[in-house]
């Protein structure tokens, strides 16, 4: 069933032209797109590597340094619990940092590429 309802207020009168393979390849080869990828990779790759190493350190300490991990810090809180909770804190910190990075550096560049693509420029 189709309806002839008008488009929602504030929407464009026409949809952007479909992206052809040639136009996609042209955008992909552009210096602007390469800079967007570089900005993304220069942030995400080192941070991902650091987090994986941090996680593996936690796992290795848990497996091979039981005495150290069992060291009490305060009451019933030991090193293992503190480092385990730090894993969660690190995850949220990384997500927050990435959101800031994306909003400040990636999204404006991606929006500019998208706008030019949709305008056919």
**Using an 8 Å Cβ cutoff, are 73 and 82 in contact?**
yes
pLDDT of residue 68: 94
Nearest 5°: CA angle at 42, between 103 and 112?
Answer: 40
pLDDT of residue 114: 87
pLDDT of residue 44: 94
pLDDT of residue 119: 78
Block means of pLDDT (10 residues each) for the chain, 121 residues, are 53 64 85 92 95 96 94 93 96 96 93 84 52
User: Quick one: angle between helices 21-29 and 31-64, nearest 10?
Assistant: 70
pLDDT of residue 8: 55
pLDDT of residue 18: 72
Domain ranges of the chain: 30-119
Kindly tell me the sign of the dihedral angle through the C-alpha atoms of 14, 33, 37, 88: negative
pLDDT of residue 5: 55
Q: How far apart are CA 42 and CA 112, in angstroms?
A: 20
């Amino acid at each position: 069933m189709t309806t002839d309802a008008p488009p929602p207020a504030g929407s464009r009168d026409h949809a952007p032209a479909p992206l052809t393979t040639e136009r996609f390849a042209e955008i992909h080869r552009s210096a602007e797109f390469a800079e967007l990828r570089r900005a993304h990779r220069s942030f995400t790759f080192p941070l991902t590597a650091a987090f994986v190493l941090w996680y593996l350190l936690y796992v290795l300490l848990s497996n091979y340094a039981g005495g150290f991990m069992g060291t009490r810090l305060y009451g019933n809180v030991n090193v293992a619990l503190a480092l385990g909770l730090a894993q969660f804190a690190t995850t949220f910190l990384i997500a927050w940092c990435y959101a800031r990075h994306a909003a400040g550096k990636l999204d404006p560049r991606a929006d500019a590429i998208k706008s030019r693509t949709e305008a056919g420029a």
